[in-house]
Amino acid sequence: MQISGASSPAPLNLPSPARSLADLRNRDLLTFTQLAKPCVLELFALAKELKGTRHQQRTTLANKSVILIFEKASLRTRLTFELGVGMLGGRAVYMDHSVQRLGEREAVKDYAKNLERWLHCIVARVYDQQIVEELAEHSSVPVINALSDRFHPCQALADLFTLWERAPSLTVEGKRLRIAYVGDGNNVCHSLMHAACTLGVDITVVTPKRFDPADDIAAQCQQLAKESGSTLTLASKLSAVEAHHAVYTDVWISMGQADQAGKRLKVFADYQVDHELMARATMGLPASWGPSKFMHCLPARRGVEVTDDVIDSPGSIVYDQAENRLHAQNALLASILA
């Protein structure tokens, strides 16, 4: 499947987003911006249905094969795609590319042109967003981004589904849901911003200066927020977390950034999500919502970006997020490969 402007960053030039599940058929998912709000809401409804009937074997993907290409480590993404394809009646094949990155042994173009002869879908976790874009450009089968340096759209889909389960109107007592993302303005943050701004959920991103989200993505999200009637706020002061229904964080050192560990641990030291920060986020929320929910894509570094008491608290919904990776991706696979 092809997108215009294969090189990154160029998300503003993507084709118009899918507006319905029918529209999603045979499409790539390289970034969350390829999904419009009505399509995401349909995906949530389908994910809910699949979740409710998760023990039934399905045949949606019968005689279809999906390759899972991973340049980086994974627990949740690999397992949920591998199990999910099987639950839908298809076959998943895992390709470990942690030793040899895509493009090293042969051109990405040739790799893609081989895969399209054997398989029906490519799921890829890569270091460089440009690689998933190249795979999509050169293959006739859909490509799903399973995390790149810039984006993690499948994670954001599951995250917003997890909030939607608690607030299906994406409002609480008549007011828009508000998410505070605290930490590194990274791949997970970018896709969460895309998802929130697409769906009309307010998002406040609190990062140290110079670790804020990429300018082009922030500009794109401001536009999405304008269209959906929500707000994107970028801040560096932790006081900005007040009155948010959820606080989300991610690791400070993403895969591929080990060489920056010393510097990053110092820069982010004040941005740990602890009991006090969660109490601040809960201030001003309606009692019906309970405490602000703690969210994390996992894996977490306990005692680094989040304290044990927060991740283990009753308000933590991190394992719901992890479970929902399976259901949200199954809805996606069933729709793309319908």
105 in active site: no
Contact of 46 with 331, CB cutoff 8 Å: yes
Q: Which residues in the 169-188 window bind ligand NVA by CB under 6 A?
A: 186-188
Output 155 or 292, the one with its CB closest to ligand CP. 155
Contact of 127 with 73, CB cutoff 8 Å: no
Output 112 or 188, the one with its CB closest to ligand CP. 188
Of 69, 102, 251, 322, the one binding ligand NVA (CB under 6 A) is 251
Q: At how many degrees (to 10) do helices 37-52 and 187-199 cross?
A: 100
Under the criterion CB under 6 A, does residue 121 sit at the interface with ligand CP? Answer: no
Cβ at position 184, least distance to ligand NVA in Å: 7
Q: What is the largest CA-CA distance in the chain?
A: 58
Closest CA to 14 of 139, 170, 132: 132
250 in active site: yes
**How far from chain centre, in Å, is Cα 231?**
19
Residue 251 touches which of ligand NVA, ligand CP, none (CB < 5 to 8 A by kind)?
Answer: ligand NVA
**How far apart are the C-alpha atoms of 329 and 335, rounded to whole Å?**
10
Exposed/middle/buried for 296, CB within 10 Å: 0-12, 13-18, 19+? buried
Under the criterion CB under 6 A, does residue 156 sit at the interface with ligand NVA? Answer: no
H helix or E strand, kind and range, residue 275: helix 275-282
Output 179 or 297, the one with its CB closest to ligand CP. 297
Contact of 133 with 112, CB cutoff 8 Å: no
**How far from chain centre, in Å, is Cα 221?**
15
Under the criterion CB under 6 A, does residue 83 sit at the interface with ligand CP? Answer: no
Cβ at position 9, least distance to ligand NVA in Å: 17
Which residues lie below 8 Å from residue 112, measured CB to CB, with a gap of 6+? 122, 134, 135, 137, 138, 139
Under the criterion CB under 6 A, does residue 129 sit at the interface with ligand NVA? Answer: no
Q: Which one of 28, 149, 184, 250 is the catalytic residue?
A: 250
Output 77 or 139, the one with its CB closest to ligand NVA. 77
Interaction mask 264-293, ligand CP, x per CB under 6 A: ------------------------------
Q: Which residues in the 78-97 window bind ligand NVA by CB under 6 A?
A: none
- Size of site (CB under 6 A) for ligand CP: 9
Contact of 250 with 188, CB cutoff 8 Å: yes
Under the criterion CB under 6 A, does residue 305 sit at the interface with ligand NVA? Answer: no
Output 285 or 295, the one with its CB closest to ligand NVA. 295
Under the criterion CB under 6 A, does residue 74 sit at the interface with ligand CP? Answer: yes
**How far apart are the C-alpha atoms of 145 and 134, rounded to whole Å?**
12
**How far apart are the C-alpha atoms of 278 and 293, rounded to whole Å?**
8
Of 77, 220, 282, 330, the one binding ligand CP (CB under 6 A) is 77
Structure tokens at 31: 């970034």
Under the criterion CB under 6 A, does residue 26 sit at the interface with ligand NVA? Answer: no
Question: Cα separations (Å) of 245 from 73, 124, 172, 189, 197?
Answer: 31, 32, 9, 17, 15
Closest CA to 236 of 257, 253, 213: 213
Of 102, 123, 124, 147, the one binding ligand CP (CB under 6 A) is 147
212 in active site: no
Interaction mask 252-291, ligand NVA, x per CB under 6 A: --xx------------------------------------
Q: Which residues bind ligand CP (CB under 6 A)?
A: 74-77, 147, 155, 297-299
Chain residues binding ligand NVA by CB under 6 A are 147, 186-188, 250-251, 254-255, 297
Q: Which residues are marked as active site?
A: 125, 152, 155, 250, 297, 325
